[in-house]
């Protein structure tokens, strides 16, 4: 039995995790409350400033979007009541629906939405693509705004309805005018829940309360679209870094949901009578290594390729998700169920530790410490981080493995300082398959201006991204995408590590969970 499982067994046999007084107060509280264990400690609140899914999940409670993807991944109006497209495809007129109000009591206006689109458009890859073809974006009146394009494009609604990071959430104009490189810290949204800042304790808890003035759409919920009906009074997100403690709390009913349960604990959790373990994301996730292209050793292509040769995806998937569904995939934009792993087609180097060691030495590596950031509180990312450190040691690197919590990693990855001065060399992270399927969606493969953390720059990538966006023939567009994937593999923008189905665990008395790339708290009933 693993250490984690021994801890879990002991915890399940022990009294409740919370104090008797706290449990008594919970039992006497007439409100319906969902107590969840999030994927990390929420510190970054601004979903435009960061791509982390921890912040994205938080933002879906607080903010709303103009459009949203339904269960068929088709964009549907959300805050928008109606819209028109001109005959030439260049002019789009949007009108906000009735009843939209900010959490501070003010009405949502078209000027708020214009400022929010512009701020998002300065940070997100798809947003930048939309802004690049925008001639003007102006509010016509309090509820109407007009987008005029330089030329017609086919992704306007897909952009405004983007479901994954960075999601184009709407904010009041006074907040949306914040410099895009500066994080917004005041959380005033128009979504179904309010963020209770006075009850927020970083490192412990984040509290949300149902926004009684929220007017949901009349349509039934369908992924991120449709009516967002809050069926509980309060959501308490309780940071619990110890996986066994979280699992024990779920078993005893002190927690209702674990957003990212430890894979090695899933079989035991699934045997609990009152616990459900199931996938929530219909398509799943991809795992990848992000490398810092600014500093040695990974400013050198040969060093990046050496690391690529030292990684075997099947080993990483086994260590990450155990017996849960996973597969090899060499495609940076993800593999569909009909596609193979595509290693040969995309010209991957073969797995070979001896050749990798020689290539790393030949790259000019000088023995300096290679800083690997390890999110030790993240049960999914911690095991592959250890494998990454081991692979680097096998090819001759002097590894500095730094254990930190996920939120600390999110802060540090933004640093462009040298690794020895508070920067970094590499880390492992994940992304939803939904959010990486094409060059406009995939923020993580952006190059040069607007590049994601790691800051790769091959000028051919932005040129090919633009060619893909401008191409209207599906066959030619697919050919461009495959050439882009070969370019990303040849230049080792990042290193894909395979695909897997993510799991959530929740109490059986929760009803109405919505399958989606993010965890939505509307429509959930607590019976």
Per-residue pLDDT of the chain (527 residues; tens, 9 = 90+): 343 334 333 333 333 455 555 555 555 465 699 999 999 999 999 999 999 999 999 999 999 999 999 999 999 999 999 999 999 999 999 999 999 999 999 999 999 999 999 999 999 999 999 999 999 999 999 999 999 999 999 999 999 999 999 999 999 999 999 999 999 999 999 999 999 999 999 999 999 999 999 999 999 999 999 999 999 999 999 999 999 999 999 999 999 999 999 999 999 999 999 999 999 998 999 999 999 999 999 999 999 999 999 999 999 999 999 888 999 999 999 999 999 999 999 999 999 999 999 999 999 999 999 999 999 999 999 999 999 999 999 999 999 999 999 999 999 999 999 999 999 999 999 999 999 999 999 999 999 999 999 999 999 999 999 999 989 899 999 999 999 999 999 999 999 999 999 899 999 999 999 999 999 999 999 99
Which helix (DSSP H) or strand (DSSP E) does residue 123 occupy? none
Which residues, in sequence order, are CB contacts of 69 under 8 Å at separation 6+? Answer: 75, 76, 161, 162, 163, 223, 224, 225
Distance, first Cα to last Cα, the chain: 35
How far apart CA 113 and CA 164 sit, in angstroms, is 19
Q: Indicate if 203 and 298 belong to the same structural domain.
A: no
CATH of the domain at 71: 3.90.76.10
Q: What pTM was computed for the model?
A: 0.92
Beta strands (DSSP E) in 405-463 are 426-432
Residue 122: phi, psi to the nearest 5? -90, -15
CATH of residue 436? 3.10.105.10
Q: Which of the 8 DSSP states describes residue 162?
A: -
Q: Quick one: 407 and 266 in the same domain?
A: no
Do 99 and 200 sit in the same domain of this protein? no
Q: What pLDDT, on the 0 to 100 scale, is given for residue 4? A: 39
* 86 shares a domain with 74: yes
Does residue 14 form part of some domain? no
Interhelix angle 353-362/382-394, rounded to 10 degrees, is 70
**265/169 same-domain check:** no
Q: How many domains does the chain have?
A: 3
Structure tokens given for 170: 């709407």
- In this prediction, residue 147 carries a pLDDT of 98
Judge contact between 406 and 41, C-beta under 8 A. yes
Last residue of a domain, one of 176, 197, 214: 176
Question: Domain for residue 21, yes or no?
Answer: no
- Do residues 381 and 430 make contact, with C-beta atoms less than 8 angstroms apart? yes
Is residue 247 within 8 Å of 240, Cβ to Cβ?
no
48 and 158 fall within a common domain: no
- Of 137, 152, 176, the position where a domain reaches its end is 176
Which of residues 123, 157, 176 is at a domain's end? 176
User: Does 361 map to a domain?
Assistant: yes
Q: What is the pLDDT of residue 5?
A: 38
> Domain limits at 221?
32-62+182-282+503-526
Residues 338 and 482 in one domain: yes
* Block residue for tokens 């030790």: 376
- State how beta strands 205-210 and 234-238 pair: antiparallel
Q: Does 274 map to a domain?
A: yes
The whole-number pLDDT of residue 464 equals 97
Res 324: pLDDT? 87
**Residue 15 C-beta-side C-alpha neighbours within 13 Å:** 4
Rounded Cα–Cα distance for residues 513 and 527 (Å): 13
- Residues 77, 58 share a domain: no
Residue 146 within any structural domain of the chain: yes
228 close to 215: Cβ distance less than 8 angstroms: no
Q: Do 139 and 205 sit in the same domain of this protein?
A: no
Q: What is the CATH number of the domain that holds 264?
A: 3.40.190.10
Structure tokens that stand for 458 in this block: 């091959």
Q: What is the DSSP letter of 98?
A: T
Residues 406 and 490 in one domain: yes
- Rounded-to-integer distance, Cα 287 and Cα 270, Å: 24
**Do the Cβ atoms of 306 and 359 come closer than 8 Å?**
yes
Tokens for 110? 């078209």
Residue 6 is assigned to a structural domain of this protein: no
Distance separating alpha carbons of residues 491 and 133, to the nearest angstrom: 28
Predicted confidence at residue 312, as pLDDT, reads 97
- Among 439, 364, 429, 444, residue whose Cα is nearest residue 396: 364
Tens of pLDDT, residues 455-482: 999 999 999 999 999 898 999 999 999 9
372 shares its domain with 326: yes
331 vs 326: CA distance, rounded Å: 15
Tell me the residue ranges of DSSP E strands in 97-156: 134-141, 144-149
Quickly list DSSP for 282-337.
SS-EEEEEEE-TTSTTTTSHHHHHHHHHT--HHHHHHHHHTTSSEE----TT---T
Residue 492 located in a structural domain: yes
| Residue 7 included in any domain | no
Within this chain, do residues 356 and 454 fall inside the same structural domain, yes or no? yes
């Amino acid at each position: 039995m693993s250490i984690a499982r021994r801890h879990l067994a002991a915890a399940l046999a022990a009294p409740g995790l919370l104090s008797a007084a706290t449990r008594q107060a919970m039992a006497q509280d007439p409100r319906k409350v969902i107590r969840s264990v999030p994927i990390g400690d929420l510190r970054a609140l601004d979903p435009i400033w960061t791509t982390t899914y921890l912040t994205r999940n938080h933002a879906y409670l607080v903010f709303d979007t103009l459009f949203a993807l339904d269960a068929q991944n088709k964009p549907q109006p959300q805050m928008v009541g109606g819209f028109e497209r001109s005959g030439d495809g260049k002019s789009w007129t949007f009108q906000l629906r009735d009843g939209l109000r900010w959490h501070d009591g003010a009405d949502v206006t078209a000027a708020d939405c214009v400022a929010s689109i512009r701020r998002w458009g300065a940070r997100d890859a798809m947003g930048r693509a939309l802004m690049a073809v925008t001639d003007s974006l102006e509010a016509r009146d309090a509820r109407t705004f007009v987008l005029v394009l330089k030329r017609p494009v086919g992704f306007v609604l897909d952009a405004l309805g983007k479901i994954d990071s960075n999601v184009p959430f709407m904010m009041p104009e006074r907040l949306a005018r914040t410099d895009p490189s500066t994080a917004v810290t005041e959380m005033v949204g128009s979504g179904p829940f309010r963020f209770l800042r006075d009850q927020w304790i970083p490192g412990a808890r984040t509290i949300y309360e149902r926004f009684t003035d929220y007017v949901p759409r009349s349509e039934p919920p369908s992924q991120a679209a449709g009516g967002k009906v809050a069926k509980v009074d309060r959501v308490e997100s309780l940071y619990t870094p110890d996986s066994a403690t979280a699992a024990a709390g779920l078993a005893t009913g002190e927690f209702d949901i674990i957003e990212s349960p430890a894979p090695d604990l899933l079989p035991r959790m699934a045997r609990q009578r009152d616990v459900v373990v199931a996938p929530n994301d219909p398509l799943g996730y991809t795992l990848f290594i992000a490398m810092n292209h600014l500093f040695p050793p990974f400013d050198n292509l040969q060093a990046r390729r050496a690391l690529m040769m030292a990684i075997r995806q099947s080993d990483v998937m086994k260590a990450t998700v155990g017996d849960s569904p996973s597969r090899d995939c060499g495609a940076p934009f993800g593999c569909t169920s009909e596609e193979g792993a595509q290693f040969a087609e995309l010209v991957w180097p073969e797995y070979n530790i001896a050749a990798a060691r020689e290539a790393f030495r030949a790259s000019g590596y000088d023995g300096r410490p290679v800083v690997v950031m390890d999110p030790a509180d993240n049960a999914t990312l911690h095991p592959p981080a250890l494998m990454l450190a081991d692979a680097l040691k096998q090819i001759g690197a002097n590894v500095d493995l730094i254990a930190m919590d996920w939120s600390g990693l999110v802060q540090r990855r933004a640093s462009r300082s040298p690794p020895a001065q508070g920067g970094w060399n590499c880390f492992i992270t994940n992304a939803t398959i939904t959010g990486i399927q094409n060059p406009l969606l995939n923020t993580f493969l952006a190059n040069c201006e607007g590049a994601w953390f790691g800051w790769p720059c091959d000028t051919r990538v932005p040129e090919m991204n633009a060619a893909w966006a401008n191409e209207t023939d599906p066959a030619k567009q697919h050919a461009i995408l495959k050439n882009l994937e070969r370019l990303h593999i040849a230049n080792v923008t990042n290193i894909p590590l395979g695909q897997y189905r993510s799991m959530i665990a929740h109490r059986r008395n929760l009803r109405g969970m919505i399958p989606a790339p993010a965890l939505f708290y509307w429509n959930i009933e607590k019976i």
